[in-house]
Amino acid sequence: MTFEELTTHIENLLGAEAILRIDEQCTPGAIELAPTDLLKHMEVLHADEQLYFDQLSCITGLDNGPEANSMEIIYQLYSIPFNHHLTIKVKLDREAPVVSSLSSVWKTADWHEREAYDLLGIHFEGHPDLRRILLPADWEGHPLRKDYKHQEYYRGVKVAY
């Protein structure tokens, strides 16, 4: 399916009001969904016969900085049998970035969401095991936030070098 066919098909499935924005500047083409009902919508994309996005390639968390005051989470979906791609973007509130976890749909989401939680501080509701994955458990802050300042000392060792 081409991107236009994908978007019209998804519009029919989810309803026009579910799609907030269609972004053709993105490669592969992106649609923006609201954080509410995300899990339900993604389940539809995963299970629909004509879409069948069976692979979640990547989850990218993104901080737009304190001025823009928003965060984004970007899902790369791919369907192996139909060979079509789709990007799903979800905009989050930067003060309390919460989105529902997709690990019940794609298990890939488990570790990728833990990474986004670790590096950006995005919380995933319903995640089975939301611990830090790359940084130590007692590390302060989330390094990929644009206003991140590293802590001065970590366990008595100076962090700056």
Partner 1 sequence: MADTVQYIFDRKNLNQSEPQKYREEDLRREEMIINIGPQHPSTHGVLRLEVVASGEEVVDVIPHLGYLHRCFEKHAESLPFNQSLPFVDRMDYLAAMNSEHAFAMGVERMLGIEDKIPKRVEYIRVLVAELNRLASHFVALGSYGMDIGAVTSFFWMVRDREHILRLLEWVSGARMLYNYIWVGGLFYDLPVGFEGRCKEFVDYLKPKLSEFEKVVIENKIFVDRTANVGVLPLDLAINYGITGPMLRGSGLKYDIRRADGYSVYPELDFEVPVGKGEMGTTGDCWDRTWVRVRECYESIRIIEQALVQLTGDHKRTRDFDPRAMVPKKIRPKAQDLYVRAENPKGETGFFFRADGRSDIPFRCKARGASFTNLSIISEIARGGLIADLIAIFGSIDIVLGEVDR
Binding residues for partner 1, per CB under 8 A? 23, 25-28, 30, 54-58, 60-62, 74, 76, 80, 83, 85, 87, 106-108, 110-112, 115, 119, 129, 131-138, 143-144, 155-158
Minimum CB–partner distance for residue 148 and partner 1 (Å): 8
Contacts 24+ apart (CB under 8 A), 114-122: 115/59, 115/61, 116/59, 116/60, 116/61, 116/73, 118/142, 119/61, 119/143, 119/144, 120/61, 120/62, 120/63, 120/71, 120/144, 120/145, 121/97, 121/145, 122/61, 122/71, 122/73, 122/92, 122/97, 122/98
| Residue number, 30 or 51, with CB nearest to partner 1 | 30
Q: Which is nearer to partner 1, 13 or 64 (CB)?
A: 64
- Nearer residue to partner 1 within complex by CB, 35 or 143: 143
Task: Report in angstroms how near the CB of residue 16 gets to partner 1 at its nearest.
Answer: 23
Which residue, 96 or 136, has its beta carbon nearer to partner 1? 136
